[in-house]
Structure 1
Amino acid sequence: MERRNPYLILGIPFGTGRAGANAAFARRVKSLPADPAQARAWQTDLTWALQRIDAGPAAPEAEMGYYRMPADPGCGAPGEPGVFAPPPEPGPYDEAAVAAALVRLRAEAAREALRRELSRRSAQTPPPAP
């Protein structure tokens, strides 16, 4: 069984035809990384995925080899609690841990404020004269 899934590489639902694959390919190519080596690797994967979809099964609904993306892309979207978005569960409240985190946060904020003030003042200070 093939370890790569062309539908996931192109970001399209399982069983999408050639036209949808071409559109996804064009979208993905436009957002390739700036690094030429990474862009070449991604383009190789995208081309492979497009070719696999083009040569794919005549009856995709009967295919059992690929992981299938959900038919409803919105099923995992945040919103109402459900199977894919369980409601939050509050953890135990540890007052000592909260107090320690607050002390660390205040110290980091003071350090950041001092760093910014020093940076601002040093930008206004002329270099010493010889």
Structure 2
Amino acid sequence: MIHIRFSDNHYGGEIDLSGTPGDLRSICQSILELLQAQDMQVCIPVNELDPAPYDSCLNSLLIRKSDCSLKVMVDGSSLKIEGTPEKLEVFADWFNFDTSTESGYHHHFDYYEGNEWVDPASVLLIISVQ
């Protein structure tokens, strides 16, 4: 089950997207399938749980093709990720966890100065294994 927690702080916010290695690989697969389809976006349902230590839970993941740099944002109660097909293809690999990856392992996807792939307004995304 995929879970998305969100806290909105003065740094622009922080999102924790978590799941088992298989759950996270399914996101990778959904992105790659979107890139082969005529569709412009895919919506992935997620499960809500206690948001602690975050402020709230988001209830869906929307991935959308666009003509811009990769951007992670909160739109209502959804996590929205958009970018060019080329950038989304690279981004998909961030969800490609090996089955043996231990719970608690995570990585951060965020903008840093000089990074032309990620939009400066993008919210910090932590992708973590449950």
Which category of TM-score, normalised to the shorter sequence, fits these structures?
A: under 0.3
Give the greater-gyration-radius structure (CA).
Answer: 1
TM-score, length-scaled by structure 2: 0.26
Relative to its length, the structure with more helix (as a share) is 1
> Of the two structures, which has the highest relative contact order with CA contacts closer than 8 Å and spacing of 6 or more?
2
TM-score, length-scaled by structure 1: 0.26
